[in-house]
Structure 1
Amino acid sequence: MPLDLADYENKAREAVKAFWGNRAAAAAKQKELGREDQGERASVTGGKNMDGFIALIQDVIRANGLTDAHMMMGRRVLTLPGFFRPTKLWDLLIVNDGRLVAALELKSQVGSFGKNFNNRTEEAIGTAVDLWTAYREGAFGPEAPRPFVAWLMPVEDAPESRSPVNDTSPHFPVFPDFRGASYIERYNILCRKLVQERLYTTATIMASPRTAAETGDYVDLSELTGLKTFVTSFAGHIAAEAARAPPGAPDRLL
């Protein structure tokens, strides 16, 4: 049975429009309340920036037959046990018949590239190492199938994120692929290595300018880290889970 990609290209453009539109609306609201000194932080206080991507993920789940899964979105049901810490709060979880089907992190980077790149990198690596160690130790059941683990991240496509960046390492040389790489290129390298090291099933970066609030424009940086790879891999994993599970109750969004 062929996979259903749920018209992801058009839905991704709508998700990008919503991402930038919701950021702008949140910033305007802060300005209206007289809180104009928060910089980019004012744009994320609404908490709805990634809703379009969540809707896309939900459509892929339903289109590929997993109609009885629990798609966890409320904060109270988004924690998983960790190994190096008691719990980790994820952005989106898919659970079916007591099995962890998927755990997804939906992040973004707009401005403040130099300040936040290392933080995002450490977060992505630490989150994955903690989850897979907990999985190895049976946190999700002694015979739990390997879950789909993904990192998806829109990054602002701007001169500041496209400009070469130089680093100094006085004792040992920086790896060649990082030398002079822009922040967008560094995020692409990060996502590629996260997948190659099997820390994530897929790791996706979408470069998009602020003007995409009107157009929904975005570009992939490589095939491995592109949105189509995420959607195709996710659809296949969902279809496999749907084939494993008998028909159940209607889907519930928590």
Structure 2
Amino acid sequence: MSIDDLEQEISDAVTHYWAKLSDQEEAQKKSENTARGRRAEVVGGEQMDGLAGLIEDALVDAGLPRDAVLHDHDAVLPGYYRATKRWDIAVVVDDELLAVMELKSIASSFGNNLNNRIEEAVGNNTDLYQAYQEGLFEPSPTPWVGYLILMADTEKSRGSVRIREPNFEVDDEFKDASYIDRTEQLCLRMVRQRLVDQAAFLTSPKDGGIEGKYNEVNPELTFSRYLSSLVAHIQSHMDYEQPDIQDYESDSAE
């Protein structure tokens, strides 16, 4: 991973996110002016495009062809329980699926939105792995799966959430937990249950976010760790030389 100033790049992407939400054109232009590579084209569209472009740049810096990084409508893949799913990012090289990613955010209505994000993440990744097991991505290796989420740091997202327990007690980790705490648990548990290879969780305050302020609440869920894991996976595939089958058959015959 050769992004020179990763913290500044993340900060620019966070500025872009809040600028898109608030339509602050001046802040958005400032973010775009610091963009690298294709990010000059990517940012200015969707709220998470700054982070999507940063991920793409890291992969290109690692030697991946830029056109191998697919976004949105180009990142449609077959599913098992449904016909297709449009991912936020898919990496396809020589007709092999190497990585898939979802980039999500929550800035309001934390309860409903977080529940929706949880159901989507668990369902999407379960569907993807089943599709892989059924051979729908042949001859692809097991794809690297990533999940990134940015949550607004507000009084509501930081406050303890009241829980109703009319029948059974909930998991202790969720008692007195905030929406930020719950999101942290989502990311950690998806990593530890192998639903994703790596997750990243960023928070950003509404007032300072437009200036690029952000926080990483858990050292296991940092953006740098996310990128390092992804780049290492891609590079291991690129460095691997497929053996010549004919030569192998000849050697076996001898």
Shorter chain as denominator, the TM-score bin is 0.7 to 0.9
Cα separation, partners in 2 of 1:83 and 1:158, compared to 1, 3 Å: same
Any unmatched runs of 5+ in structure 2? Answer: 26-43, 243-254
Which has more helix, going by share of residues?
2
- Distance in 1 of aligned mates of 2:59 and 2:166: 49
Answer yes or no: is the 8 Å Cα contact 1:6–1:60 preserved in 2.
no
- Distance in 1 of aligned mates of 2:227 and 2:76: 24
Question: By how many angstroms is 1:245 displaced?
Answer: 6.5
- Give the alignment partner of residue 236 of structure 1, picking from 229, 232, 235: 232
Cα separation, partners in 2 of 1:177 and 1:74, compared to 1, 3 Å: closer
Amino acid in structure 2 at the alignment position of 1:59 = D
Secondary structure in structure 2 of the residue aligned to 1:215: coil
Q: Paired residue for 2:38?
A: none
What is the correspondence of 1:19-34 to structure 2 with a 5 Å cutoff? Answer: 19-25=17-23
Structure 1 segments of 4 or more deviating over 4 A? none
TM-score, length basis structure 2: 0.83
Please identify, of 118-127 and 143-152, the stretch whose mean Cα deviation from structure 2 is larger. Answer: 143-152
Q: Paired residue for 1:167?
A: 163
Residue 8 in 1 paired to residue 6 in 2? yes
Q: Paired residue for 2:48?
A: 50
Percent identity (aligned): 35
Secondary structure in structure 2 of the residue aligned to 1:199: coil
Answer yes or no: is the 8 Å Cα contact 2:98–2:140 preserved in 1.
no
Q: Paired residue for 2:33?
A: none
Question: By how many angstroms is 1:214 displaced?
Answer: 3.8
- Distance in 1 of aligned mates of 2:45 and 2:108: 17
Amino acid in structure 2 at the alignment position of 1:56 = L
Residue 87 in 1 paired to residue 84 in 2? yes
Cα separation, partners in 2 of 1:69 and 1:236, compared to 1, 3 Å: farther
Deviations 1:141-171 (A, max 9, x none): 0x42111111111100000000001212222
Please identify, of 183-192 and 232-241, the stretch whose mean Cα deviation from structure 2 is larger. Answer: 232-241
Residue 125 in 1 paired to residue 122 in 2? yes
Residue 138 in 1 paired to residue 132 in 2? no
Any unmatched runs of 5+ in structure 1? Answer: 28-45, 247-254
Secondary structure in structure 1 of the residue aligned to 2:9: helix
TM-score, length basis structure 1: 0.83
- Distance in 2 of aligned mates of 1:90 and 1:202: 16
Q: Paired residue for 2:247?
A: none
Question: By how many angstroms is 1:63 displaced?
Answer: 1.2
Larger relative contact order (CA 8 Å, sep ≥ 6): 1
Taking only aligned residues, the RMSD between alpha carbons, in angstroms, comes to: 2.0
Answer yes or no: is the 8 Å Cα contact 1:78–1:90 preserved in 2.
yes
Say how many residue pairs are matched: 224
Q: Paired residue for 2:97?
A: 100
Answer yes or no: is the 8 Å Cα contact 2:118–2:186 preserved in 1.
yes
Residue 199 in 1 paired to residue 191 in 2? no
Greater radius of gyration (CA): 2
- Distance in 1 of aligned mates of 2:136 and 2:4: 32
